[in-house]
Structure 1
């Protein structure tokens, strides 16, 4: 349970840090790339074994870390933008609603059966993202305010599916640190490629504020994944229970932090969306 609690804390801090980026005029892309370099180095430091890249390349999960690295930086940028545009609470709800996607994946590819409660939960999850994204003073919804949480929802769901797949089929317990490190390393490499292409038109300048923001983000980002995988390896709880506790706790803690730190005001519809989020998670995972 300690691993799960630490994962929740680190994941919630990510949304808060994203929100602070706009406050302190930190350029999100550059800070995110720095964050992945930091997360990569943290993983290498924590790995108990000898780091032999020739052996790592031959691991069954290696190509998966490459694909996940590319996907991580895309989704992370979307999460950052959603936190800044729609708010910490909305971004955390959209991210954690992704729980429904591994369930649907299990039904389609592993022929798992859905109960009536789970079907209701999936429908409630979609409604939750919609209502949590609505702005109080406008009947006409901003396309960006709806599109960003939706993309975060889809992207986070795909990452959840991949994480569970690799943890179940390819990872040994002692490989968690190096696996996480390689994912973050490839995410950083993807970011550098993007910056290199961008710099051909507009040369990039070193900004120490962006680097500092990336360092602050990198540590909780790494441990959010590290502790979640460690929690999933606990045989005392099945993955549905772990994802349930993890996602509900992050939604609640992120919302509280958004209200306390940033004085975010939630409309009645936003509050209803958050309540629907919690109910849908419970229905999908526990029934």
Structure 2
């Protein structure tokens, strides 16, 4: 549980950093690129991956290869989706990617669909719609087909990354090495993208990248740690992470950035808490109410 809570906090702090970065006109692409350099350094220093036997990574080569491509690609797709379809639709697509890893928990990981988890999942989706409900302040530019394609890319990208992290957590002691290779590949691709478009580097972009890298490293490692500790209940990690981030993010946005919470958003927070309670403590709830 502590790993999951730490991952939720780091994820929200990343969003806070990105929101501040926009106000300070920090180039997000530069920050993302530098972030992978920091992530590689921290992986070497903290996780100390065993690189003495390269063959140990062969059975899971497809994991770090897929993550190496998807991690920077989803950042780019998310940025384009925000430009074309707006923040509201893009954020909704990212959070609703929860559907894919939850479906994978039952279809691929052999998890049983219990009564409590079914109720929790239903409540989780109700809460997602409530928390993401915002009035749109104008028409978005771009063709409908292009918008739909970008939003589908965000939805599928984040969902598949969640599933791949679950698989990475199952690789045991080799996960640190796999994570290192994924970060290296992601960094190479991101820097290739930045140089291809002729990015002019700034001090703010580098500093923002260092902070982003530290938070992202903690977020990913604690998230994988949660999957390893709770390996028999991946749904709890998938749903708990997504709901926790949205609830905490909504509260932080209202308190720190004075963002308005509508009555529907407030209802979503309550439903989200109920969903998490059902996912984690359904047996205790049934005993408490005698049902």
Tell me how far apart the structure 2 counterparts of residues 6 and 86 of structure 1 sit (CA, whole Å).
26
Tell me how far apart the structure 2 counterparts of residues 126 and 164 of structure 1 sit (CA, whole Å).
21
- Structure 1 match to 2:256: 261
Tell me how far apart the structure 2 counterparts of residues 242 and 224 of structure 1 sit (CA, whole Å).
13
Q: Please list every run of 5 or more consecutive structure 1 residues that lacks an aligned counterpart in the other structure.
A: none
- Structure 2 match to 1:3: 3
Deviations 1:206-261 (A, max 9, x none): 21111111111001101111111112222586222333433332222222221122
The alpha-carbon distance between structure 1 residues 125 and 268, as it changes in their structure 2 partners (threshold 3 A), is: same
The secondary structure found in structure 2 opposite 1:222 is helix
TM-score, reference length from structure 1: 0.76
Deviations 1:151-191 (A, max 9, x none): 544322211111112323xx11x333332222222111111
Shift of 1:137: 6.5
Shift of 1:274: 4.8
Tell me how far apart the structure 1 counterparts of residues 108 and 270 of structure 2 sit (CA, whole Å).
30
Q: Is the 8 A contact 1:19 1:83 kept in 2?
A: no
TM-score, reference length from structure 2: 0.75
The alpha-carbon distance between structure 1 residues 193 and 62, as it changes in their structure 2 partners (threshold 3 A), is: same
Tell me how far apart the structure 1 counterparts of residues 98 and 280 of structure 2 sit (CA, whole Å).
8
- Structure 1 match to 2:203: 208
- Structure 2 match to 1:185: 184
Q: Is the 8 A contact 2:39 2:216 kept in 1?
A: yes
Q: Is the 8 A contact 1:40 1:185 kept in 2?
A: yes
Tell me how far apart the structure 2 counterparts of residues 141 and 128 of structure 1 sit (CA, whole Å).
26
Shift of 1:73: 1.3
The alpha-carbon distance between structure 1 residues 117 and 47, as it changes in their structure 2 partners (threshold 3 A), is: closer
Q: Please list every run of 5 or more consecutive structure 2 residues that lacks an aligned counterpart in the other structure.
A: 283-291
Tell me how far apart the structure 1 counterparts of residues 231 and 100 of structure 2 sit (CA, whole Å).
23
Tell me how far apart the structure 1 counterparts of residues 108 and 192 of structure 2 sit (CA, whole Å).
34
Aligned pair partner of 1:154 in 149, 153, 156 = 156
The secondary structure found in structure 1 opposite 2:229 is coil
Shift of 1:94: 5.5
The secondary structure found in structure 1 opposite 2:134 is coil
> How many residues of Structure 1 are paired with residues of Structure 2 in the alignment?
274
- Structure 1 match to 2:87: 86
Deviations 1:60-107 (A, max 9, x none): 2223212112111122345567899637xx94x754543332222344
Alignment of 1:159-238 (within 5 A): 159-168=161-170, 171-172=171-172, 174-199=173-198, 204-234=199-229, 238=233
The alpha-carbon distance between structure 1 residues 241 and 118, as it changes in their structure 2 partners (threshold 3 A), is: closer
The alpha-carbon distance between structure 1 residues 141 and 211, as it changes in their structure 2 partners (threshold 3 A), is: same
